[in-house]
Structure 1
Amino acid sequence: MPYALFCDDAKLSKTYPTEADVWKLASESGLVTDVESKGGQPTPRRVLDNDYEIRPCQAEAGECPEKNERDAQEQKDFQLLLRGRG
């Protein structure tokens, strides 16, 4: 089942193959905050800012979640390449 980023009932992102892909996108976009762990767990837990949430959803007609993930990775790689030249 693909996943996307939502705020209330509005879908804010493209659809991605896994929940982990959307967490990664949200983190890279600055939408994730680490908060103190509860119950004595050793690491902080991640939460989304504001009323954002990651939910399973159906891909739009003609949308390919795997292609969206590849495109996002290629864009990130390209931005890193440009930064390396500056």
Structure 2
Amino acid sequence: MPYALFCNDAQISKAYPDESDVWKLAQRSGLVVDVSSDDERPGPRRVLDNDYEIKPCRVAQGEDPAKNKAEAEQQSRMELELNT
């Protein structure tokens, strides 16, 4: 099942094959924050900034989650090269 990033129940990202792919996108976009641990979980845990959620989604007609993932990874590599 594909996943996407949502804000206030509106899908704001393309669909990706796995939830972890959307976490990577959210991290690069600055939407992931670390919060302090609680008694049940040691160490910090990552959460999404206000009103953002990662949820299963339907794939739009003609959309390919695997292609979206490949394009996002390619863009990330290009950004790393430009920053070095």
TM-score range, shorter chain: over 0.9
- The residue number in structure 1 matching 2:6 is 6
- The residue number in structure 1 matching 2:67 is 67
The runs of 5 or more residues in structure 1 that have no matched partner are none
- The residue number in structure 1 matching 2:30 is 30
Q: Percent identity?
A: 60
What's the C-alpha RMSD, in Å, of the aligned pairs? 1.0
Residue 17 in 1 paired to residue 17 in 2? yes
Q: CA deviation at 1:57?
A: 0.6
- The residue number in structure 1 matching 2:83 is 83
The runs of 5 or more residues in structure 2 that have no matched partner are none
Q: TM-score, normalised by structure 2?
A: 0.93
Q: CA deviation at 1:40?
A: 4.3
**Could you tell me how far apart the structure 2 residues matched to 1:37 and 1:60 are?**
37
SS at match of 2:53: strand
**Could you tell me how far apart the structure 2 residues matched to 1:40 and 1:56 are?**
27
SS at match of 1:33: strand
**Could you tell me how far apart the structure 2 residues matched to 1:74 and 1:55 are?**
23
Q: TM-score, normalised by structure 1?
A: 0.91
